[in-house]
Amino acid sequence: MVGIIFNAPLWLTGTVLVLGFSGFALGAQRVIRRWIMPRFHMRPHESEYPSTIIASVMVFYGLVAALVAITVWERHTLVAERVSGEASAVASVWRDLGGYPAPERDALRDMLRGYTEYLIQDAWPEYRKGRVPAEGVDWLDRFQERLLTFEPTSESLKILHAETLRSYNQMILVRRLRLDAVGTGLPGLIWMLVIAGAMISIFVSLLFPVEDGPYQSVMAVSLAALIALVILVILGLDQPFRGDLGVSPESFRLIHDHLMMR
């Protein structure tokens, strides 16, 4: 069920959220105006109290939603930077291997190209589903075994080999950080706060005596639609590799097409 929500197109998710929260607002308005407000006996000079409470609830929920949105945006940006950094590390290893003698150069480059193609074609679709496939470890184990068995025969090759190992270790480090981000998202408790807070905000906004029902309906639906769009942004950025806003393998594809296939 959760996977369907994150993998659905944003326009569809946004439509469902806007209609759902708008329907909740209109339903709550009908209940409040018919059953709750007649039980209250608010005097005109007492209207400042509900106004203060409503404003306080809106400000508090606005702060919570803003902090959550900023958190998921920063994480999404960080993961995108890690993917770009890993692709740069792969390119660095590829260029370093260019100084190796044949047949080591060709064998290592073939394995690195195969690993890059595996990421683009096989691994990324699994990331979209929140899963981490294990085949990438096999690719890197074979590459590392061949790289570590190479014996430099000159001082220049020793320096180049040391630089290649440094670039490779950097690639492995950034890869580990990228994999840690697959499937991560906001805890359920935070999502409960975001959704429940939205409903409470809409409900409280209706606890104010307004004689014109259609006018109140327009205002309530406007508030509900705005809250739904904020939640849509949080949902779209929550899991970095999933959905329409998921981080793509474009950095690896550029390196593969423009560097490895030359």
Higher pLDDT, 42 or 133: 133
- Helix, strand and coil content of the chain, in percent to the nearest 5, comes to 80, 0, 20
pLDDT at residue 4 in the model: 75
Residue pair 130/182 in contact by the 8 Å Cβ criterion: yes
pLDDT at residue 1 in the model: 47
pLDDT at residue 3 in the model: 63
pLDDT tops 90 at residue 153: no
Burial class (CB in 10 A: 0-12, 13-18, 19+), 259: middle
What residue spans define the domains of the chain? Answer: 22-28+52-260
Percentage of the chain beyond pLDDT 90 is 82
Supply the mean pLDDT for the chain.
Answer: 92
Interval 164-184 mean pLDDT: 93
pLDDT tops 70 at residue 178: yes
Percentage of the chain beyond pLDDT 70 is 97
pLDDT tens digits for 58-95? 999 999 999 999 999 999 999 999 999 999 999 999 99
pLDDT at residue 158 in the model: 94
CA dihedral (146, 149, 150, 153) in degrees, to 10, reads -170
pLDDT at residue 45 in the model: 60
pLDDT at residue 38 in the model: 82
Write down the pTM of the prediction: 0.88
Residue pair 82/174 in contact by the 8 Å Cβ criterion: yes
Closest C-alpha to 262, from 86, 98, 93, 123: 98
pLDDT tens digits for 184-212? 889 999 999 999 999 999 999 998 888 89
pLDDT at residue 87 in the model: 96
CB environment 161-181: b (16+ within 10 A), e (fewer): beebbebbebbeebbeebeeb
pLDDT tens digits for 224-262? 999 999 999 999 999 999 989 999 999 999 999 999 987
Interval 144-148 mean pLDDT: 94
pLDDT at residue 66 in the model: 95
